[in-house]
Amino acid sequence: MIRTPQLWTKFYENLAFLFYSLTYCDRDITDKEVEAVKGLVQEAWLDFEPSLDEYGYDAAYQIQAVFDWLFDSRPTASSAFKRFSSFVDDHPSFIDQKLAEAIFSSANKIVSAYGHRNKIELGYLYLLQDVLKESYKSNKKPSNGKVS
């Protein structure tokens, strides 16, 4: 799959939905979780790849912009997680091992930002692990479609 700047922008928008779902799954978004998301954009995602959005800014800034919008509009954590999961399902070859590891590492840092992970957050991490594993597994299929 060719990862176009437009597809990277869509990915980052959907990654914001994932990050929001992790911060809101216990129905309490803490300042530490918000700061963790902002920090991850700066530390992990701006340098991950060089795509620019339609306005000429690093496409990874979409994470922060969409996260802020979600924070204000407050959809359910479940619907936000489903949005990210749907993106992964719709673009199964987009997520390779390196990207899956970066996503999961970021997710783990977000849920650990408050100092501990609760059962609901752990449940979301397990769901995320399954989504990423399925996507990554689909990338390993031989080109003839047969599973070895």
**146 assigned to some structural domain:** no
**134 assigned to some structural domain:** yes
CA 26 to chain centre: 18
Q: Residue 143: is its pLDDT beyond 90?
A: no
**31 assigned to some structural domain:** yes
Task: Supply the CATH number for residue 120's domain.
Answer: 1.10.3680
**148 assigned to some structural domain:** no
In this predicted structure, what is the pLDDT of residue 140? Answer: 62
**Where does the pLDDT of residue 80 fall: very low under 50, low under 70, confident under 90, or very high at 90 and above?**
very high
Q: Residue 15: is its pLDDT beyond 90?
A: yes
CA 16/CA 22 separation, integer angstroms: 10
**145 assigned to some structural domain:** no
Structure-token pair, residue 77: 């954590």
Number of compact structural domains in the chain: 1
In this predicted structure, what is the pLDDT of residue 146? Answer: 40
Domain ranges, residue 27:
5-139
CA 48 to chain centre: 13
How far the first Cα of the chain sits from its last, in Å, is 21
Look up the pTM and report it.
Answer: 0.91
**147 assigned to some structural domain:** no
**48 assigned to some structural domain:** yes
Instruction: Give per-residue pLDDT as tens, 19-57.
Output: 999 999 999 899 999 999 999 999 999 999 999 999 999
| Average pLDDT estimate for 126-139 | 87
Please say whether the beta carbons of 66 and 16 come within 8 A. yes
CA 109/CA 77 separation, integer angstroms: 17
**126 assigned to some structural domain:** yes
Half-sphere exposure of 91 (CA within 13 A, CB side): 18
In this predicted structure, what is the pLDDT of residue 135? Answer: 85
CA 21/CA 76 separation, integer angstroms: 7
CA 61/CA 28 separation, integer angstroms: 24
CA 64/CA 131 separation, integer angstroms: 22
